[in-house]
Structure 1
Amino acid sequence: MRGFDRINAVLPDELILEIFRHVESKPSRDACSLVCKRWLSLERLSRDTIRIGASASPGNLVKLLSSRFPNIRYVFIDERLSISLPVQCRKRRRISRGSTSSGRFCHGSEQSVFGDDGMGTGCLSDSGLATVGDSFVKLEKLSLIWCSSITDVGLRSLAEKCKSLRSLDLQGCYIGDKGLAAVGECCNFLEKLNLRFCEGLTDTGLVKLAIGCGGTLKLLGVAACAKITDISFEAVGSHCRSLESLSLDSETIHNKGLLAMAKGCSALKVLKLQCLNITDDALQAVGIFCLSLESLALYSFQKFTDRSMFAIGKGCKKLRNLTLSDCYFLSNKGLDSVAVGCSELMHIEVNGCHNIGTDGLKSIGKYCPRLSELALLYCQRIESDGLSEIGKGCKFLQALHLVDCSAIGDDSICSIARGCKNLRKLHIRRCYEVGNKGIIAIGQNCKFLTDLSLRFCDRIGDEALISIGQGCSLHHLNVSGCHQIGDAGIIAIARGCPQLSYLDVSVLQNLGDGALMELGEGCPLLKDVVISHCRQITDIGLNHLVRKCTVMESCHMVYCPGITEAGVATMVTTCTRIKKILVEKWKVSARTKRRAGSIINYLCVDL
């Protein structure tokens, strides 16, 4: 019945609040708040997270937001964020008719606000940080990303007021030892701490933090802190017995620090290291003492060998995720020992480890039956049949990434297709021995495949995509640089993959308007399209595509000589949800620029 309220008269506040807490999408929450004043008030009460930019006066914005959202527990402040969607944030002045003046606006939970003088300082100051502590009394998580004006004074003030703080991210903040020591002294419930690029810190501050928060600290990240040495990690090993995750990128840490940490932090589950001066002696200690380790990532290690991997394989039986990047002295024997000892492995990435070849990969296939994701990047020693054992033994494989593996060919892909029928994601880039045969096998066997990327694989043509279109229902497809693919292959995808939402066909010289017309008819859910460097596509095909694909959000179309000013204008007027268009500047008319200047970009990237 018109005019009758079927919701507000029945639902209590508590139930509406609970519903709002389960709405994760911010646009959806914003829409709910516009229903009525009651919903606006309740939605504000339900919010526990705000994101603030620092491109104007974030201190003023903190005061405003604290009055509107009293139950905030997580504050994210990032000086890299800019102003975008407008919502009025201060009293509007009355403007006479004909006046050209306009008020200043901000986005209430995403961005920043101008100061009273309309100029703004451009960064969060110590006083602004003190306001955070005063305003958000329930604060548990705080992220200060690249807030370069924060000093020890502001951090101490915050620490004294927010004693229930559990997570603190200081990435890129030039704070010193006194501020960090204050956090250790006051925030005795701190569990997570990120100190990446905090260049002003020394051992003094981190040692005091470890002493103060050692009983609760579970996650620690340190990178590019040149003044932090082994002394700090000896303190971490002595006091942080509950540490579960450590991310360390340092040229000043040696074996002594990592040995102390490994011996003291036996509960460690996640370890990510990029330390040029660490050798086998320290990494062996990880295998001996960190028996609960589940995820291990080693980057750019030049002083450790298979001896470390023997210890990891022998001791870390719970290991599930393994990343080895640019570990030049690691060979098949080391990978074999991990595969034999760590049968729970589910995710493996091998990147630029030039001594690992086919034999190491075969060990993974034989001894790691639960493997669900495998990434092989720049592995030149893996032969054409290198994935044969993976196909035989890893029946649960769902994602495979191959980049610049020059010897891997159709035999390997056929093995995966026959054995890994649960495959959902296949990404291949610059593997020039992979051709139609392997991809046809994927289409015939891997019926659950939804994400396919075949970038710059110049032996793959229309036959492969026809098989994929007939056998799979793709959501994402990238065939950029596969110059043998033309209209026939893309038409097969259009007719067989109605759920397609992302398509990159850039640098396909044989692709024409016919394919775009078929895509418009068969793939109405397309949101993101890349057609750059397609010289045969014209306004005709583009117009048909955009009129059918009404939910399109982005389109890259640089270096397409057949697309003109008229085509760009049609896209702007037809696609009501478009958020980004990448095109040459001279193809944008003055009228189009006035209408959609904020979403048009002129820089060609990622091709």
Structure 2
Amino acid sequence: MSKPGDDELALIISWVIDQKDRKSFSQVCKQWLNVESQTRLSIRVFEPELLHKFLPRFPNLLTFESSKRITNNHLEIIATTCPKLEFLNFKQQSVESQNLVGFDDISDFDDVGVLAIANGCCKLCEVLFRRRRRVGNVGVITLVKCAKSLGVLDLGRCSLINDSSLEAIGSMNSIRALNLEGCSLITDKGLTFLATGSSSRTLKRLVLAECDRLTDFGVSLLQGMYCLEELNLAECGPKVTDYGGMAVASIASLKRLNLSWLINVSDVTLVAISENCRNLVTLDLTGCEMISGAGIRAFGYHECLESLVLASCDNICGDDVDMVLKCKSLRSIVLDKGLKMWIPKRMQENISRFCQLHWR
């Protein structure tokens, strides 16, 4: 029997999914090690300081992930070694962030590293920088200009990002999902760029949670984004009222909407949403203290709503919830745990027969 060539080995390992099995494959001999390295498409790195030793083995990577602290030098190595990257995940997990006592931002990458990635990895389609607090406008602007196929960008908790980045993002033709949660420097001007630029025709998911400088004016501009399917305005502050809510209600394409803790949004907005957003599947109204049963009952005959969150809604009573059960599509409802003692057991059982009942 002749010795299998690299092509045959590559075909064999293409069927091996388990990482432990791939590791065993690579330990057979140098030839098998080389084939495994050349065909590796994804990697998750826990020790970035060792990148220079092992990364050159994997020139065809499409996916790179690391939630650890990583320096500009490391990003330069990645950009030089892995030009085919399409998915880059540097998302810092919240639990890990809390456990990193004395986290030193200086040791983490900044715009210098992002520039290296932007210039070296122009095929990027998805980039996650969540909680990388040194990422700023210079890096993001260059990234969106170089990565022409970039469709997903997560800048959540990147506190240096402001309207300048949104101006560049607004001119993109490929962006489908954008996370700006906690980017508190963003203003209505930034939303103007998103709502009037090329991005308005491609964005399907937009997260603006905790962008508390936004007002009704900026939010009202979002009604021009006719492809938007998911919008998160949670905790955007008291300057978002029914005026902005009515504009949001005119986005007929919406499927998921989060209005949590918008204390100046009332039943007027809910009635408009129930009438105009006929494709809506999930609605989160946590902490919307001005809404009442009148707004909730408007969804009694909605044809698509599957999930409704009403935690910390003090003006909702058991009878209001009972009316929502006319909504045949409803699969899950979340109520404030303070209501539990006031809703009769029989009513709770009746609700549970039609959909999942959760208390928060």
Alignment partner, residue 501 of structure 1: 331
Matched, 1:324 2:168: no
User: Partner amino acid for 1:142?
Assistant: Q
Identity %: 21
Counterpart of 2:84 (choices 242, 264, 268) is: 242
Structure 2: unaligned runs, 5 residues or longer: 1-12, 93-104
Distance 1:362 1:221, change over 3 A: same
Matched, 1:371 2:228: yes
Give the deviation of 1:434 after TM superposition.
Answer: 2.7
Distance 1:207 1:498, change over 3 A: same
* CA–CA distance in structure 2, aligned partners of residues 257 and 269 of structure 1: 18
C-alpha contact (below 8 Å) 2:305/2:329 kept by paired residues:
yes
* CA–CA distance in structure 2, aligned partners of residues 422 and 484 of structure 1: 29
User: Partner amino acid for 1:284?
Assistant: I
Alignment partner, residue 190 of structure 2: 334
Question: Can you list the C-alpha shifts for 1:365-390, whole angstroms capped at 9, x where unaligned?
Answer: 33x3322221113222xxxxxxxxxx
Alignment partner, residue 151 of structure 2: 294
Give the deviation of 1:517 after TM superposition.
Answer: 6.0
Alignment partner, residue 233 of structure 1: 75
* CA–CA distance in structure 1, aligned partners of residues 48 and 119 of structure 2: 25
Give the deviation of 1:217 after TM superposition.
Answer: 0.6
Distance 1:435 1:163, change over 3 A: farther
Question: Can you list the C-alpha shifts for 1:348-380, whole angstroms capped at 9, x where unaligned?
Answer: 1113334444444344433x3322221113222
Distance 1:164 1:477, change over 3 A: farther
Q: Extract structure 1 runs of 4+ deviating beyond 6 A.
A: 162-165
Give the deviation of 1:194 after TM superposition.
Answer: 1.8
Counterpart of 2:65 (choices 206, 218, 221) is: 221
C-alpha contact (below 8 Å) 2:234/2:260 kept by paired residues:
no
Counterpart of 1:160 (choices 22, 27, 35) is: 27
Q: How many aligned positions are there?
A: 329
Aligned to 1:285, what secondary structure does the other structure show? Answer: helix
User: Partner amino acid for 2:63?
Assistant: L
Counterpart of 1:283 (choices 137, 140, 147) is: 140
Alignment partner, residue 482 of structure 1: 313
User: Partner amino acid for 1:530?
Assistant: H
C-alpha contact (below 8 Å) 1:299/1:324 kept by paired residues:
yes
User: Partner amino acid for 1:345?
Assistant: L
* CA–CA distance in structure 2, aligned partners of residues 255 and 312 of structure 1: 16
User: Partner amino acid for 1:244?
Assistant: E
Question: Can you list the C-alpha shifts for 1:35-76, whole angstroms capped at 9, x where unaligned?
Answer: xxxxxxxxxxxxxxxxxxxxxxxxxxxxxxxxxxxxxxxxxx
Aligned to 1:342, what secondary structure does the other structure show? Answer: helix
Counterpart of 1:211 (choices 45, 49, 56) is: 56
Aligned to 1:296, what secondary structure does the other structure show? Answer: strand
Counterpart of 1:349 (choices 187, 193, 207) is: 207
User: Partner amino acid for 1:487?
Assistant: G
Distance 1:325 1:159, change over 3 A: farther
Give the deviation of 1:164 after TM superposition.
Answer: 11
- The structure with the larger Rg is 1
Give the deviation of 1:294 after TM superposition.
Answer: 1.1
Alignment partner, residue 437 of structure 1: 268
Matched, 1:454 2:292: no
* CA–CA distance in structure 2, aligned partners of residues 219 and 375 of structure 1: 27
Alignment partner, residue 142 of structure 1: 19
Aligned to 2:290, what secondary structure does the other structure show? Answer: coil
Give the deviation of 1:336 after TM superposition.
Answer: 2.7
* CA–CA distance in structure 2, aligned partners of residues 329 and 456 of structure 1: 24
Distance 1:260 1:138, change over 3 A: same
Give the deviation of 1:270 after TM superposition.
Answer: 0.9
Give the deviation of 1:157 after TM superposition.
Answer: 5.4
Counterpart of 2:40 (choices 179, 190, 207) is: 190
User: Partner amino acid for 1:410?
Assistant: D
Normalised to the residue count of structure 2, the TM-score between the two structures is 0.77
Structure 1: unaligned runs, 5 residues or longer: 1-135, 144-153, 166-182, 381-405, 532-606
Distance 1:461 1:190, change over 3 A: same
Aligned to 1:300, what secondary structure does the other structure show? Answer: coil
C-alpha contact (below 8 Å) 1:184/1:213 kept by paired residues:
no
Counterpart of 2:357 (choices 529, 535, 538) is: 529
Taking only aligned residues, the RMSD between alpha carbons, in angstroms, comes to 3.4
C-alpha contact (below 8 Å) 1:185/1:209 kept by paired residues:
no
- Richer in strand (by share): 1
Alignment partner, residue 512 of structure 1: 344
* CA–CA distance in structure 2, aligned partners of residues 512 and 163 of structure 1: 71
Question: Can you list the C-alpha shifts for 1:100-128, whole angstroms capped at 9, x where unaligned?
Answer: xxxxxxxxxxxxxxxxxxxxxxxxxxxxx
* CA–CA distance in structure 1, aligned partners of residues 190 and 29 of structure 2: 47
C-alpha contact (below 8 Å) 2:234/2:259 kept by paired residues:
no
Give the deviation of 1:191 after TM superposition.
Answer: 0.9
Normalised to the residue count of structure 1, the TM-score between the two structures is 0.48
* CA–CA distance in structure 2, aligned partners of residues 447 and 304 of structure 1: 34
Higher relative contact order structure (alpha carbons within 8 Å, sequence separation ≥ 6)? 2
Give the deviation of 1:472 after TM superposition.
Answer: 4.4
* CA–CA distance in structure 2, aligned partners of residues 302 and 324 of structure 1: 9
C-alpha contact (below 8 Å) 1:351/1:378 kept by paired residues:
yes
User: Partner amino acid for 1:409?
Assistant: T
* CA–CA distance in structure 1, aligned partners of residues 76 and 110 of structure 2: 11
Give the deviation of 1:269 after TM superposition.
Answer: 0.9
